[in-house]
Amino acid sequence: MTTPRSAQLFTRYPGNPILSPHDWPYTVNAVFNPGATLGPDGETLLLVRVEDRSGISHLTLARSDDGVTNWKIDPRPTLMPQTSRFEELWGIEDPRIVRFGDEYLIAHTAVSSAGPLVALLSTRDFRDFERLSTVSPPENKDASLFPVKFDGRYAIIHRPVFYGYRAEAHIWISFSPDLRHWGDHKILLESRHSVHWDQEKIGIGPPPLWTNEGWLIMFHGVKGTAAGALYRAGLAVLDPHEPTRVLARADEWVLGPEAEYERTGDVPGVVFPCGWIRDDDDTVRLYYGAADTCVGLATARVDDLLEFVFSHPA
Ligand code: BMA
């Protein structure tokens, strides 16, 4: 059998997983779903979701000069949930980081006792964080800001869930003048009610990536099976100036749980990307949670990803 093109786009780092619970300087259960960005001097920064042994998640910074090896991990949690706040009672999870000048804006899931919701943080140094706002009431998660404004407004991609005749979990886009008041809500991508890999739920992965062809977005798709959920990642491209317009959505997933560390762990069968970094040679380094246990790295050429989306429409 020939390997499908969709399976050849990403190359896993042979030393995966790059970060595991046993690398941590303090006792944890799992380390996964990191947001990724570059520091002022070009270091790779991963803000990693860390699940402690009570089950609650906090965020901890890991930094590396080459983004692959020699990770320096903060000796203590970098950002703990404020359990006095209703929104963060049961933890903070799955950060996606964008940069505006020297300010980093982080969308993440805050887990309230009424369900998960999307909240925003700001930091300049990954030491001091300001809690900016919550984007909507529960249930909502899987959110990322765009790294630019559109006509003076911030834009966010998020994934509210509605329980109507059946649970509806689609990707939405909303706009705000000030990161506090959100409106002009629109559905951007729908989960496919079918047998497809993205039939049950979909949600944004890393922040949208600017390219000459438009905004490249990666999203995860969930397929329910008799053996549990499978989490895979696929691609779409949005109009460069009007991000509510989807130019293309690829039919097949481009990264799915195949390696042993993606198939074995706390939640088997999960790849969950929350961060990517584009290098000067047009390679993208994708950082993803594997099996809700550890962190994997895979690389791809941005041109190949774009060519694939436009030539394999859903
Ligand atoms: C999603 C999120 C992720 C998690 C995934 C698989 O709903 O909660 O944090 O990695 O499920 O368990």
Q: pTM (2 decimals)?
A: 0.98
Q: Which amino acid is at 147?
A: P
Number of H helices, E strands in the chain: 2, 22
HSE (side-chain half, CA atoms, 13 Å) at 63:
14
User: Is 272 close to ligand 1, i.e. is its CB under 6 Å away?
Assistant: yes
Dist. CA 280 → ligand 1 center (Å): 31
- 292, 293, 294, 295, best to mutate for ligand 1 pocket (most atoms within 8 Å of CB): 292
User: Using CA atoms, how far apart are residues 288 and 313, in angstroms rounded to an integer?
Assistant: 24
164 or 25: whose pLDDT is higher?
25
Mutate to test the pocket of ligand 1, among 94, 118, 232 (most ligand atoms within 8 A of CB): 94
Check whether 161 has a pLDDT greater than 70. Answer: yes
Amino acid at 206: P
Give the number of the atom of ligand 1 that is nearest the alpha carbon of residue 289.
10
pLDDT, one tens digit per residue, over 195-241 is: 999 999 999 999 999 999 999 999 999 999 999 999 999 999 999 99
Q: What is the pLDDT of residue 163?
A: 85
Nearest CA to ligand 1 atom 10: 292
CATH number for 6-311: choose from 2.40.50.140, 2.70.98.10, 2.115.10.20, 2.60.40.10.
2.115.10.20
Q: Could you identify the atom of ligand 1 that is nearest to the CA of residue 93?
A: 9
How many angstroms separate the CA atoms of 64 and 116, rounded?
A: 31
- Cα 203 to ligand 1 centre (Å): 10
Atom of ligand 1 nearest to the CA of 267: 12
Query: Is residue 262 lining ligand 1, measured as CB closer than 6 Å?
Result: no
CB 299 within 8 A of CB 288: no
- Return the best residue to mutate from 161, 272, 274 for the ligand 1 pocket (most ligand atoms within 8 A of CB): 272
For residue range 94-126, list pLDDT tens digits in order: 999 999 999 999 999 999 999 999 999 999 999
Q: Is the pLDDT of residue 1 over 70?
A: no
Distance from residue 272's CA to the centre of ligand 1 (Å): 7
